[in-house]
């Protein structure tokens, strides 16, 4: 059933809900479309397996709603069981408490034009999309299950980051990116190698991540670093006509 998304509703000042369809869900595409029709949300963000290749058609048949195929997320996984220990370097490590403000500024530099399911929807304020990433990043700083790995320039400024959430066994890259001026030098790839090695040392056995199918550059980096493709999920924005 669709659920309230309080943070997104407050951010965009409209009533937003989310419907995440499990892979083993037996509902038909038409039944999912009916749930969208009956929901009270102004915007329902629906995510379902890309193998449901007729779902877009079922959603587009809801006469009272407009549907946007907002993105396709590709999911990847890497085993950490045989990762070699990292080579200690002064330029990479965990984010320090004194760097929190700089970290939030780095997020603002990384994501202003980032393509995602929010940016695909012209009804949403794109400036608020950016603040959503900053809010998300800030929540990671206060998480007991989070780790933020960073790479620093020779001057000590933050150049790249990989924010992790995990349960002690499975780590997930929640947010990551590199400052525009630091891209193209392999900094992110080196940080990824470092983070995986550190997580392996901490006892994590695997790391998961996902991104939009259009984000080919980072996908190539993940594959070169031993990540394997797992699955694909489509995101739809189903909006009630006013």
Q: 97 φ, ψ to 5°?
A: -55, -35
Q: What is the pLDDT along the chain (242 residues), one digit of tens a residue?
A: 899 999 999 999 999 999 999 999 999 999 999 999 999 999 999 999 999 999 999 999 999 999 999 999 999 999 999 888 777 677 999 999 999 999 999 999 999 888 899 999 999 998 888 888 888 888 888 888 889 999 999 899 999 999 999 999 999 999 999 999 999 999 999 999 999 999 999 999 999 999 999 999 999 999 999 999 999 999 999 999 87
Range list of β-strands (E), the chain: 3-4, 16-20, 43-49, 65-79, 92-94, 146-152, 158-166, 170-178, 206-212, 228-240
Compute the CA torsion angle 11, 12, 13, 19 (nearest 10 deg). Answer: -90
Report pTM: 0.92
CA distance 27 to 56: 15
Q: How far apart are CA 97 and CA 240, in angstroms?
A: 43
Helices (H) and strands (E) in the chain, counts: 7, 10
């Amino acid at each position: 059933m669709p659920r309230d998304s309080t943070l997104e509703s407050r951010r965009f000042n409209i009533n937003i809900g989310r419907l995440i369809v499990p892979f083993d869900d037996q509902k038909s595409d038409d039944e999912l479309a009916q749930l969208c029709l009956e929901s009270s949300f102004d915007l329902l963000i629906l995510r379902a397996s890309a193998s449901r290749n007729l779902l877009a058609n079922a959603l587009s048949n809801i006469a009272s709603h407009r549907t946007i195929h907002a993105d396709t997320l590709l999911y990847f996984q890497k085993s950490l069981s045989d990762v070699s220990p990292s080579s200690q370097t002064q330029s990479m490590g965990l984010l320090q408490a004194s760097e929190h403000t700089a970290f939030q500024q780095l997020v603002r530099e990384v994501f202003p034009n980032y393509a995602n399911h929010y940016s695909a929807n012209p009804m949403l304020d794109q400036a608020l999309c950016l603040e959503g990433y900053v809010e998300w990043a800030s929540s990671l700083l206060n998480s007991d299950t989070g780790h933020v790995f960073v790479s620093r320039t020779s001057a000590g400024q933050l150049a790249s980051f990989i924010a992790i959430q995990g349960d002690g066994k499975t780590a997930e890259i929640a947010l990551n990116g590199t400052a525009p001026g630091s891209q193209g030098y392999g900094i992110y790839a080196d940080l990824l190698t470092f983070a995986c090695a550190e997580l392996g040392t901490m006892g994590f056995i695997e790391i998961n991540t996902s991104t939009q199918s259009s984000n080919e550059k980072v996908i190539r980096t993940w594959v070169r670093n031993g990540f394997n493709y797992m699955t694909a999920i489509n995101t739809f924005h189903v909006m009630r006509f006013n």
